[in-house]
Structure 1
Amino acid sequence: MIARFLLLASVASASFAVPSAFAQDAAPEQADPAVQPQNPRGDVIVVTARRRQETAQEVPLAISVIRGDSIEATGNFNIVKLQQLAPTLQVYTSNPRNTSVNIRGLGVPFGLTSDGFEQGVGIYVDDVYNSRVAAATFDFLDVAQVEVLRGPQGSLYGKNTTAGAINITTNQPTFDFEGRAELTVGNLNYKQAKAAISGPLSDTIAARIAIASTTRRGTIYNVTSQRWINEQDNLGIRGQLLFKPNEDLSITLAGDYSKQDPEGYGTVFVRVGRTQRALNRQYDALVAAANAAGRAYQVPSRNPYDRLTDLDSNLNAGNKIGGASLKAVWDLGAGTLTSVTAWRFWDWKPENDRDFTGLSIVSRSQNPSQQDQYSQELRYNYTSDRIDFVLGAFGFKQRIDTQGTESQGIDASRWSLTGAQAANASILDGLTASNTQYLKSTSAALFGQVSWKVTDALTIQPGARLNYDKKSGFYERIVTNGQGQVISCTPVPAAGSVLAAQCGVYQPQSTSPSVSKWNFSYDFNVNYKIAPDILAYATYAKSFKTVGINQNGLPLNSVTNLPDLSASTVKPESVNHYEIGIKTQFWDRRATFNLTAFRTDIKDFQATVNGGQFGTVRGYLANADKVRSQGIEADFKIAPSERFSAYANGAYTDAKYKKFTNAPCPPELSGGTLQAVGATPDYSQPGVAGALSPRQCDISGQALPGVSKWAFSYGAEVNTPVTLLAKEGQIYLGVDGNYRSHFQSNASPSIYTRINGYALTNVRAGFRGEGFDVFGWVRNAFDVNYMELLQVAPGNVGLIAGQPGDPQTWFGTIKFSF
């Protein structure tokens, strides 16, 4: 670890990258002048990470700050793209609902998403908590700044977060009239338009409204529908009213609405991996058997970067997100009282192809959901010469309703059954599982943090949180056969019967899980100002992620083949976090170098596991005994003059299961007849067709999914003053890029789901002056082929599908402001 620490430090110190991508080069316009440093050349970033305005270099925690205009300049317009600027952030998505946002490998269980768990990375927009990652997949709209806070944040934020927080701040209404407009066009029929206007309505009321529209042709061509899929079709609007009757009180009413209606999301064929299923029941043999019976099926391409697919189910990803909030800030002299009242909604209307093929195995798969959430936060901030503190209360209420439908198709029998039944399409064709479910979630908390300035250099900062959570759910699955008749699987049907075959795919079940839990957590930080521009700190945090429930149905017991009721709830995570860091500025504050080392130990880690079933219960929550994430992060930035700036950020993250002895097995150890109950698992025959398969696998010591050990982001910008077309301004050239080493794309690491490392480079060039900016840019300039996500097709047939990353794209942008 010491060698890696020194290596990373040396790389960061010697690299050049663009600080225009990070907010460390300027303060937001609304920054308090009191926090400005005396040195006019100094690098100033004003943040609200600790619920008060201060410079980022004064905050004793690991934080990345990214300005809104810098996000736009690098072509990143939503949370999914942020990981290209922040190396310790991991964002993976197969559609908006199934989106994982992790920091240091921790946060949301990787894989199919369940409503019944909490996210470990809190996403806040203007202090409003978004309870689901899916409800925060909107385009960035009129964003001023994004702060990525790493590590537990339970003593400062409304909702407890064990891995970190993403704090998004939008531009606020102004009493000076201002506006901006932006238009971008590019290849793949890319079109994006943005506009915002702000100004006074009276001496005490100001308003701001912003709108954005983004469309782009898809990157994968579906030969079945003869359409490009995985497109972008987004529209967003945000309005704010500010009432400021005096200098001590401000009240802001905000509302927003976003709509996404793309044709998506689909996958391409990537590879076939050998499993332990009988050889004649694996992918290639099953396709050959279907063709021998009269089909003429052939995947359109076995090269995933041809970007061809043949999915035969409808594909939709309708996503509506919105809400309203009322924020009041009252300056009481020594302290400030803040109230944030909010309502959010999320309406999800999907249609998917869950067999990942052009065969009709799963003919229909959809789980539309409707969410309402209400939150109230009260917070009091006090500041004095020696004592600062934050004291807060938070209440949260959420309801999610889901109506699911999954049906088997004409090819399902051949895929899932054996013997004579495999040739009888009518057994499974039309078999339908109709699911009704809801989740009710309530949370309440008291939290606070104190900063005691023992001396001018030494500060001690304890924090604590008392939290109550209650979750109750309902899940009912009704199964009907191809004739529309309701079937029952109790008593257990006779082996070899049609009913037994149908129950082996979908079993009716009904559950009503309910659980509640009190939790107490705390943190302790000590920071010391070694010199005016050098801050060292150490943090310990005892945190938690509250209990979860399995809300999408229960897995079947491998012995009785009945729903496993013991899996209804999952234990809370218990987190111990340790962190040390140093923040430095030198060369008259033209250069900044920050270094952080961390370790997080989690007991009862909440993981998404995959049962390999074709039914709706493929992914569910379970507890891994112990997980550990540790690593080193370095951030370096230099701005020797107004004509050149650069940055480099790097992270080494070692995140692994320390103990997970009863995990589901990867595909190469699945699909065969199960080993005897109680037998010592035999892992010696991976990929051997017909071999006995372990009932569970010990994956202790293996890497967590979605985490690259090494990740870097970098860039640079150079400019020169010119007069062009009678306009004074600057011609500039910029480059930015990122690298990620290989990572796993399956909860249980598999030889078939390893995604190789890749490096992406983006370039831009333009001419800017007062009130305008005209530039062109190219993303993935070298047209690198890479995979964003790999998925194991259900049924243990060995099919691996995936989503290739965007190819080379180019754009031109015109921006005006006044």
Structure 2
Amino acid sequence: MTTALTRRALRLSLSAFALFLPALLPTSVTAQETGARTLEEVVVTARRREESLQDVPVSITAFTGEQLDRMGVLDIIEIAKSTPNVTLEVSRGTNTTLTAFIRGVGQQDPVAGYEAGVGMYIDDVYLNRPQAAVLDVYDVERIEVLRGPQGSLYGRNTIGGAIKYVTKKLDAEPTAKARVSLGSYNQLDAVISGSTPLTDQLRIGGSIARLTRDGFGDNLTQSGVENYQKDLFGARISVEWDATDNLSFRLTGDLIDDKSDPRQGHRLTTGNLTGAPILNDVFDTRAGLSVPEQSVESLGGALVAEWTINDRYSLKNVLSYRDDVSYTPIDFDSLPGVDLDVPAVYDNEQFSEELQLIYNGDRLSGLFGFFYLDASAATQFDVILGTTGDLLSLPGLNANTSGNVLTDSWSVFADFTWQWTDEISVSLGGRYTSDERDSRVLRRSFIGGTTFGGNMPTLFATTSDFRGSKTFSEFTPRASISWQPTEEQNLYFTYSEGFKGGSFDPRGQTTGAPDIDGDGDIDEADIFEFMLFDPEYVNSFELGLKSSWMNNRVTTSIAFIYADYTDIQIPGSVGLDTDNDGTQDTFVGITSNAGDADMTGIEFEGLAQLNDQFQLGWSLGYLDAEFNEFIDAFGVDVADQRVFQNTPEVTASTTLSYERPLALFSTPGSFAVITSLSYRDDTSQFETPTPLLDQEAYTLWDLSFVWEDDDGRWRASLHGKNLTDEEYKVAGYYFPSLGLESSITAFYGNPTTWTATVEYNFQ
């Protein structure tokens, strides 16, 4: 979208200052007995105990379910709009795979073998893989975003940060709620949730969601197939049992069945062979690949047991199993002909067990914990080369890769806080992690098309059959000191270390291994080292101040951050000419610990209750991330030519709301007008700048109108998103020399949408 429209949005928002604006901000408003509105205390569990957000010496942004509902937030991607130094996007070529970066640390590639740099949790359960992790927002208690290394307090060690998606617990009284949404592109969403006590100690509840929307664009090759379409069914169930006054159990289960049409790319160049033009609508595609049929199925269950031993000690145990399968046809060239078609399947399973012993004393509080993860991640995909015609009848060359990675991880961790004086507290923690990876990477060449769809092409050659195993272990400490000279001020300094285990390149090809040890031949040791990549590390320093001002009418949080990021894992894919005909016909992985970098930044968030009607909020993130060293595949240091991917230098948002009493049809209630602006600086899709794919700075403008009755039964709202219709890239593929047509394709964020929602609470 043009700069003029962006300026227009800014002028409109500023001129509406007296009428408009809150948004995704981590607090809510309440009326005290005096009648003056102040900011309500926000309680989080970032340190495995309930604490005020302002008291926690950690960079954290929290969103309540009530706030998310009022803002019409549809999925977890949207919370990045108002969270500093955070990028959340739908991964390229998928509908529900999450790409997450916090403070420059993350992982874009979703194939087996690459571990996420940002931990994703549903309640207390860590999601080992990014597939099916673009969670829709319904029946949510809150969402917490923790920035910086995590690991001494719960779950899996994560090097960049963690996102906690916390579902609602059940009420003691019968409840039921229904929500229906109608919107642009024929959006029709319905969510029904409720719970009921079966006895004084036993409760059962759940929710069902049906979420549908036409595509933002069309597939001009495949009749009836739309691009960026949505067709999803979700369900959750929960059973809570208070066995005794001191012992409780919570059994939860969730299901996602996503039958959305495949999301294909928009070509940024004309076809080299056919001269196919660039389409006018960035949401349209001409992709011809139709196998396998697009689908995502995910299910999981968890049993949480909590035992209060006495006033000081308690035990918590989290037992979980999850399983997901994603079938996706990825047409890299996005053209009807078979030139670079990649049908793929991701199949993941995980079992996890976590035990915590929690202590709360007069001055000492903390926990000991044990975590175990047994997970498998399998990725299989074809790279099919051809020209035109029916895919299944072509004699085209197919480079098939089957990668399977088994993870067996265990860790012990502890974190304790000593209240040294009434004003000063000191925290010390640490974690020992052991990650064992077992990997097989099998690459074979076929003639006759895809291995999907029931057709088995003719095996031509086995180009790689690698099996490897290695264990990575590390101790990562954490220390923090907090000084609270008054109840309104909290000055803290935190040092923490992060660690992400190594693995084996899931797209590596053993025949490409060089003579690493220089002994004159390429043996098993050379192949092992070629396929292996080592752990990466972060040493993070943070100086922060959290404050409450003007009798709790203003809260602010500012943090100065510095991180030393070493042995950075750099996944990459390069084209390969396997038959020496002068054309690259497949790609292979080259992953190395190529990088060393420094990251310096600031994060500033605040919320102000201006008067009884107006509330203003803001967030600002600045991150200067620079490579000190970047060794490319040829052994050359190219640090001055590389940048951090998915990490804009500046992220910012500003929000304001106007709220006043308003009776509707003689029913007392309140009416709010809510608008927000979120800004993201220039963003690179890869470490190597790619002007065609990189996104220039842009601003998104959202606007909501909300009416709700005083009894909390009815809510009616209208939500507009991206009102200036910005066209902004969120992901892409860049293979200019691979195949005959050249494959440079982009994926875009949502265009302008409007959604009208009605909710009724059966109290």
TM-score range, shorter chain: 0.7 to 0.9
Give 1:48's aligned residue: 45
**Alignment CA distance shift 1:472-1:334 (3 Å):** same
Q: Is the 8 A contact 1:373 1:399 kept in 2?
A: yes
1:568-620 per-position Cα deviation (integer Å, ceiling 9, x unaligned): 11111122111110000111101111101111112111122131345564455
In the alignment, residue 69 of structure 1 is paired with which amino acid?
Answer: E
Instruction: Give 1:228 deviation, angstroms.
Output: 1.8
> What pairs up with 1:660-671 in 2 under 5 angstroms?
660-662=630-632
Match of 1:159 among 149, 156, 167: 156
Indicate the residue corresponding to 1:729 in structure 2: 669
Give the aligned partner of residue 324 of structure 1.
301
Who is 1:675 aligned against? none
Change (3 A) 1:402 1:662: closer
Where does 1:703-718 land on structure 2 (aligned, <5 Å)?
703-718=643-658
Q: Residue 254 in 1 paired to residue 252 in 2?
A: yes
CA distance in 2, matches of 1:185, 1:618: 45
Which residue of the partner structure matches residue 453 of structure 2? none
- Which residue matches 1:386? 363
**Aligned partner of residue 642 in structure 2, secondary structure:** coil
Q: In the TM superposition, what is the alpha-carbon distance from 1:80 to its structure 2 partner?
A: 2.4
Larger strand proportion, structure 1 or 2? 2
1:352 is the counterpart of 2:330: yes
After superposition, the C-alpha distances for 1:270-303 in whole angstroms (9 at most, x for unaligned) are 246xxxxxxxxxx54x335xxxxxxxxx3362x4
Query: Which of 15, 23, 26 is the equivalent residue of 1:23?
Result: 26
The 3 A distance-change label for structure 1 pair 40 and 805 is closer
Give the direction of change, closer, same or farther, for the CA distance of 1:65–1:233 in structure 2 (3 Å limit): same
2:724 is matched with 782
- In 1, the alpha carbon distance for the partners of 2:675 and 2:392 equals 58
Partner of 1:584: 547
Q: 1:183–1:813: 8 Å Cα contact kept in structure 2?
A: yes
CA 1:436–1:97 in 2, change beyond 3 Å: closer, same or farther?
farther
Q: Does 1:644 align with 2:609?
A: no
* Shift in CA distance, 700/304, structure 1 to aligned 2, threshold 3 Å: farther
Matched position secondary structure for 1:179: strand
Which one of the candidate residues 560, 570, 575 is aligned to 1:597?
560
Alpha-carbon distance in 2 for matches of 1:778, 1:572: 43
CA distance in 2, matches of 1:125, 1:96: 19
3-state DSSP class of the match of 1:21? coil
Task: Report the CA distance between 1:209 and its aligned residue.
Answer: 0.8
Contact preservation (8 Å) 2:103, 2:647: yes
The reply on whether 1:314 has 2:290 as its aligned counterpart is: yes
Match of 1:237 in 2: 235
Give the superposed CA RMSD.
2.7
- Find the aligned partners of 1:21 and 1:743 in 2 and give their Cα distance: 22
Out of 694, 701, 705, the position equivalent to 1:761 is: 701
Give the whole-Å Cα distance in 2 for the aligned partners of 1:88 and 1:400: 29
Is 1:659 the counterpart of 2:652 in the alignment? no
| SS at 1:388 equivalent | strand
Kindly indicate whether the alpha-carbon contact (under 8 Å) linking 1:398 and 1:442 is maintained by their aligned counterparts in 2.
yes
The residue matched to 1:72 in structure 2 has which SS?
A: helix
Change (3 A) 1:343 1:98: closer
Per the alignment, residue 267 of structure 2 pairs with 269
Alpha-carbon distance in 2 for matches of 1:545, 1:135:
22
**Match in the other structure for 1:367:** 344
Q: d(CA) in 2 for partners of 1:469 and 1:335?
A: 30
Q: Report matched runs for 1:100-119 at 5 Å.
A: 100-108=99-107, 110=108, 112-119=109-116
Q: 2:574 aligns with which of 611, 634, 640?
A: 611
Letter in 2 for 1:636: G
> Contact conserved, 2:513 with 2:530, CA < 8 A, in 1?
no
SS state of the match for residue 422, structure 2?
coil
Structure 1 residue 317, shift from structure 2 partner: 3.5
Give distance in 2, aligned partners of 1:719 and 1:139: 27
Q: Deviations over 1:132-158 (max 9, x none)?
A: 122422323311100000011111121
Task: Please state if 1:811 is matched with 2:751.
Answer: no
Alpha-carbon separation, structure 2, partners of 1:185 and 1:225? 27
Residue equivalent to 1:487: 460
Letter in 2 for 1:816: Y
1:544-555 pair list within 5 angstroms: 544-554=499-509
Q: Secondary structure at the match of 2:253?
A: strand
Cα deviation, 1:709-734, whole Å, max 9, x if unaligned, reads 11112211111112221110012211
Q: Once the two structures are superposed, what CA deviation does each residue of 1:475-506 show, in whole Å capped at 9, x if it has no partner?
A: 22221224954334xxxxxxxxxxxxxxxxxx
Equivalent position amino acid for 2:396 in 1:
G
- Is 2:336–2:388's contact at 8 Å kept on the other side of the alignment? no
* DSSP 3-state at the match of 1:585: strand
Q: Which residue of 2 aligns with 1:83?
A: 80
Q: Is the 8 A contact 2:468 2:528 kept in 1?
A: no
Query: Partners of 2:663 and 2:463 in 1: how far apart?
Result: 73
Aligned to 1:542: 497
Matching of residue 463 in structure 1 with residue 429 in structure 2? yes
Check the 8 A contact 2:464/2:511 in 1, yes or no. no
* Mapped contact 1:718–1:733 kept (Cα < 8 A): yes
TM-score (norm 1): 0.82
Aligned to 1:292: none
Q: Does 1:336 align with 2:333?
A: no
Q: Deviations over 1:204-245 (max 9, x none)?
A: 101111111111111122211143212111111000000013
What is the number of residues matched between the two proteins? 708
* Distance of aligned partners of 1:615 and 1:208 in 2 relative to their CA distance in 1, 3 Å threshold: farther
Q: Separation in 2 of the partners of 1:695 and 1:155? A: 36
| Distance in 1 (alpha carbons) for counterparts of 2:514 and 2:54 | 58
Q: Secondary structure at the match of 2:243?
A: strand
Q: Which residue, 439, 442, 445 being the options, matches 2:405?
A: 439
TM-superposition CA deviations, 1:80-104 (whole Å, max 9, x none): 2221232321123211575321111
What's the secondary structure of 2:670's corresponding residue?
strand
Supply the AA of the counterpart residue of 2:759: K
Once the two structures are TM-superposed, the CA of residue 192 in structure 1 deviates from its matched residue by 0.9
**Residues 24-74 of structure 1: CA deviation (Å, up to 9, x unaligned):** 2269xxxxxxxxxxx994531010000000110010011000112322333
Give the CA deviation at 1:793: 2.9
Corresponding residue number in structure 2 for 1:295? none
Unpaired runs of 5+ residues, structure 1, are 1-14, 28-38, 273-282, 289-297, 413-424, 489-506, 664-693
Identity %: 24
Asked if structure 2 preserves the Cα contact closer than 8 Å seen for 1:740 and 1:757, the reply is yes
Query: Is residue 217–residue 281 contact of structure 2 (8 Å, CA) maintained in 1?
Result: no
| Inter-partner Cα distance in structure 2 for 1:615 and 1:234 | 35
Residue 702 (str. 1) matches residue 651 (str. 2):
no
| 2:190 match | 193
